[in-house]
Structure 1
Amino acid sequence: MVSHWKDQDPLFVQSGSPLTSDQQTEIRDALEGASSKIYAVALPPNTVTKSTIGSYMTQLNSAMEAARAPAATYAVLDGTRLYAASSALRADGLAARLSNLAVAANAGDVVAGMKDFTNRVDDAVRGRNSALDPDSQANPGAGGTAALIALGALVLVGGGGYFLYSSNRKKKRAIQEAKELAAVKQTVDEDVTKLGEEITALDADVTLSGAGGKHIDEWQTALDSYEKAKTQLSGVQRADQVREVTQTLEDGRYALAVVKAKVNDEPVPERRAPCFFNPQHGPSARDVRWAPPGGTARDVPACKMDAEAVERGFDPQMREVMVDGQRRPYYDAGPAYQPYAYGYYGGFGDIMTGMFIGTMMGSMLSGGFGMGGYGAGYAEGYADAGAGDFGGDAGGGWGDFGGGGDFGGGDFGGGDW
């Protein structure tokens, strides 16, 4: 995504986005014609949620900072829903306010709404009051009412109350990040426990394999990896540290697969990426053609069991995790799981982008999110994200990356576009 913005144009469209080619062209033209830096990504519906958009925006900004991009405003079109964040607008929460105004003034028309949003951002960067005009700014030359609130007042109004509001949002962000970290650690703990159980189950076979069984080098590697993973997990304080744990688990799983092969007088398996569907299954046996529901087919590494299931038209045994009380595949569980996947698959070349295309994780990986850490935010006071819907769904606001928003929302009407 970042490389697309840098080398091609300011609109990145992921496969599955409902935007037509004509809509893409008009939005792209509006972004290219903006006087300020504005970048947009169009995603399939429900790629991000209210509980993950804050982390998504944080990761996005971190990637742009790593690429040494200039301060900019970002728009995320998740189906019909618009989220916005900015490192260029200094008033906290302003991008969210502008996106909600654009949605409210252009219900049912995503192109007009994006043109409106682009013009509002340009006006806000220049300090113009028209950025907050409640009338549509899709065609600002057609006129409109005066702004109800000056931008300067937006920053200064409320005095201490403003800072209290900002502090509360930071607390919400911290709570959300702690919740996400706990969920990821629980997932990794299950993976560590599973490896330990399989080592225990194999112990008797190794002993019965003869005097040399205990001296299989990989057996000690598997044992050491299990103990190391437990120690690493106990020290995890941030989600990006999970990567080291799953790297260790990948080593242990391959070592265990080698031990199983030697004990059973079978060929030693090739060092391949773990099974895409569930890294607990150990190293993959081969690639299989697979597509997520409504997504594009791609080749993914799979264990023998899952490869055969997919080829026979059955569902593979997917690694699912809990997200907001619902079980979802790990690759659609949000940005906090990016380091989890990197630990397992990052050591096998550039396979991740292809594997995860069309998933939430794939949208984060596109264009060079690389090994970036999780949870790094904007400079204090610069972070904001808003949500509105050009279709008929209820909107919702975001105040800060990783935290809940207080911008409200509502049914904007107009139907899907």
Structure 2
Amino acid sequence: MKKTLLASLIAFTAFSANAELIQHTDQIGEVQFTGSTYELGKHVGEVAGNQVESAIERFSDTLGQMLPGLSAESLSKSFDDQQVFAKLKKASPESASYIRGLADQLNKNPNLLLAVAMSDEAILESQRNGGMGFLQAEKGAHAPSAPAKCTSMAVAASGNKAWAASNFDYMGVNYTGLLMLKHTDTDGKTRLIQTWAGLIPYGGVTKGAQVMTMNTMADQGTLREKDGGEILSDTATPSFYLSWDVYNTEDYAGIKSVFNKYPEYTAFFTYTVASANQPAMNIENTYGGKVNYSEGEYKAHANHSVYSQPAEFVDEAFAAHSLARQDAAENFMAKASVETPESEVRELLQSKPLWKGRGDMMGTVTNTYYKVDGKKVDVYFQTDSEHKPVHMTNY
């Protein structure tokens, strides 16, 4: 796909004197906004509402291909029944205020937006009912049956310097409508949140300048399925809390506090973290409520837990070759340092087994390189070979 928009700039002043949408390419936009989180949600709906609306439709169509009868609307009814938005508001008023602002601007049910934003739950619902999910083996080059393909890595800091990198590999509907939210709150603190259509957060930079690279824990969702566990149980905190509130942390230790706040979540995530003057860190929540984390000279993570022997179903084909991607990332990181050039990191991200291309249903959405220099973080992320990396900052 050729670029159709080149760094076009549209200024908007509905809610703040510092508010704009920068459409870097036809695939990637950057929302810069200063104000409350509720106002951020409204602003995203105003300046990128067409992208959000289109994304919801494409997501719903894809769900129907994964499992006939499954749609964003049918999921939202389940979310209504389980009062997911109400639970999110209780557990995380801050993230709920963003969803409420977006819902108010688009005149949508907040649970419909959450049914899209909590996409892992949709995949798990499909898998549980015999549709496509995490469990099936990948067939051919870009089979739709193993959507969890992300790989992330981070190196320990040398003083102020560090870096992290990740591939976000997911549904083909994610290839366009990518929105980076650069949000400065009412206290003047800035965070970056990489999202698809303002709905699915998948990485970014916290208010304390910690880099967060996010993966799905495909093995933990499958363990719950095999155990007959409920996805939207009465006692589970909506996973949007985990994928949103972590960017509010203002220091390295705060990341652990976010994960430990609640004992049970509707989905399972892992973050690989880089921060100035800190070791690399990995943290994951698992089925059964345990939080695993570790620190070291480097960390790498694919789509299965690295803190115990893989479950018997985690074979060579599981989650688009999660085992092979884990090995490739760890082998690279064992020889890497703060001085490893971006070109070498990106070569890894864009080569097999990490790189998945762009299939009709599933593939690599973005490969991202984060460069840390104290409290300043530069982000360079690329979608495909026809688009150069887009540069954004948290400053």
In which range does the TM-score fall when normalised by the shorter chain?
under 0.3
Structure with greater proportional strand content: 2
Higher relative contact order (CA 8 A, sep 6+): 1
After TM superposition, the score normalised by the length of structure 2 is 0.26
Q: Greater Rg, structure 1 or structure 2? A: 1
